[in-house]
Structure 1
């Protein structure tokens, strides 16, 4: 159930187990991928996982029902499109907010769902710069004695097995998922240039410390990793792995009692 597409009475009458709150960023993704890549990818994973959750559940033992018959729905909220992304400030079009503003906005968005009885939330993240702030949001949201809400943060590219080691920025993984889900937004004629100007790794590391605070310090065109290695077939695999992992997480979150 996509909240932006249903009515309030649809939500009132639904049996919602858990909400997915996609969180992304509006930031540079090289010359070939759109500024909204992180939000687009988070939404793609959230929607595919919601379908998987609702369709492939295990029925009650001995019920003889259809798979998924004992499960409710997943409410997929509209994405939060601006995140913690000041590290990309040198590149035109990038938007960002402070970690404090971001944490407050995301947490209060989740709390609004709790007021309608949707008290289990997974923050579905598509941007590395949000990871630290979202972990804190999930803890604060879950510990708030004013409500019975419980939430966790999930970052899709951390859940794709051995592919995760190829995560850069606008590199093979993000480009692959875009090619599988939003192919019209990839500027294919610019991919070779994106690859030629890409950095090999994120940051400048000495003694385990990244000396570079901003991405422009180590990549001229904003790309880290080779986007040519991210075709649509790989993107389909990434989508399957990430959405399956998120569906399993959603089941655990839905079943967990509040503390």
Structure 2
């Protein structure tokens, strides 16, 4: 059930404790892809994963602003501090748990959120407020994960499949021309760069031309199947904590 479209009485009558919260970012994705790429892809995977399970699942509204100061040189990018992000996501999940939806999978579309979401999940789970597991879609697409860049082949492919009208196809060559091959500027196993503008002229990492709509369909199937398996596991998992003191 999508909370955005539901009434409170609809929600009152549900018999499930399982919820999904999409989380993304509003940030540059090169000249060809929208600022909302990470939100759009997280929502697409969340919805497709829910469709692949027979369980009743509450789908919360997406959280659209994340930890993205590394893209601050590009207009339109928004971000919050790590502390604010962790608190906001945590309190949003706590509000779901208040109504009995205390098994929660956070579906994430932004790499900068990964570490913070793991902290949120651990904190809420250990406190006993809810059992919370973060899931990042581009880590769950088999061998394709190795091609994850930024505004590169994976994100462009998924957008071409799910939201083709938002991809500026006439700017793909521009995106390719000034893209970086990899994330960062490395010496002695150390990334010397903190911001994407230090190593990518237009914010793109990877070749968006390698991401066509057919690949996007494959990515969505892989990510959604993986999410569906996770939802089943979270729903069935014994989340009690033995005390050995």
TM-score relative to the length of structure 1: 0.91
Identify unmatched segments of 5+ residues in structure 1. 55-71
Question: Does the alignment pair 1:213 with 2:232?
Answer: no
The answer for the alignment partner of 1:94 in structure 2 is 77
Q: Kindly report structure 1 stretches of 4+ aligned residues shifted beyond 6 Å.
A: none
Question: Does the alignment pair 1:250 with 2:231?
Answer: yes
What is the aligned residue count? 240
Secondary structure of the corresponding residue to residue 53 of structure 1: coil
Following the alignment from structure 2 to structure 1, what is the Cα–Cα distance between the partners of residues 230 and 114? Answer: 17
Following the alignment from structure 2 to structure 1, what is the Cα–Cα distance between the partners of residues 238 and 99? Answer: 18
The answer for the alignment partner of 1:142 in structure 2 is 125
Per-residue deviation at 1:248?
0.4
The answer for the alignment partner of 2:154 in structure 1 is 173
1:95-110 equivalent positions in 2, closer than 5 A: 95-110=78-93
The answer for the alignment partner of 1:3 in structure 2 is 3
Per-residue deviation at 1:17?
4.2
Question: Does the alignment pair 1:224 with 2:205?
Answer: yes
Per-residue deviation at 1:2?
1.0
Secondary structure of the corresponding residue to residue 168 of structure 1: coil
1:37-48 equivalent positions in 2, closer than 5 A: 37-48=37-48
Secondary structure of the corresponding residue to residue 66 of structure 2: coil
Following the alignment from structure 1 to structure 2, what is the Cα–Cα distance between the partners of residues 222 and 34? Answer: 12
Identify unmatched segments of 5+ residues in structure 2. 241-245
Match of 1:112 among 95, 101, 106: 95
Secondary structure of the corresponding residue to residue 53 of structure 2: helix
The answer for the alignment partner of 2:185 in structure 1 is 204
**8 Å CA contact retained: 2:17, 2:100:** no
Following the alignment from structure 1 to structure 2, what is the Cα–Cα distance between the partners of residues 97 and 198? Answer: 26
The answer for the alignment partner of 2:243 in structure 1 is none
Match of 1:85 among 65, 68, 74: 68
Deviations 1:207-245 (A, max 9, x none): 221110000000010000000010000000000000000
Following the alignment from structure 2 to structure 1, what is the Cα–Cα distance between the partners of residues 194 and 227? Answer: 31
Deviations 1:11-41 (A, max 9, x none): 1112224111000000000000000000000
**8 Å CA contact retained: 2:24, 2:62:** yes
Per-residue deviation at 1:258?
2.6
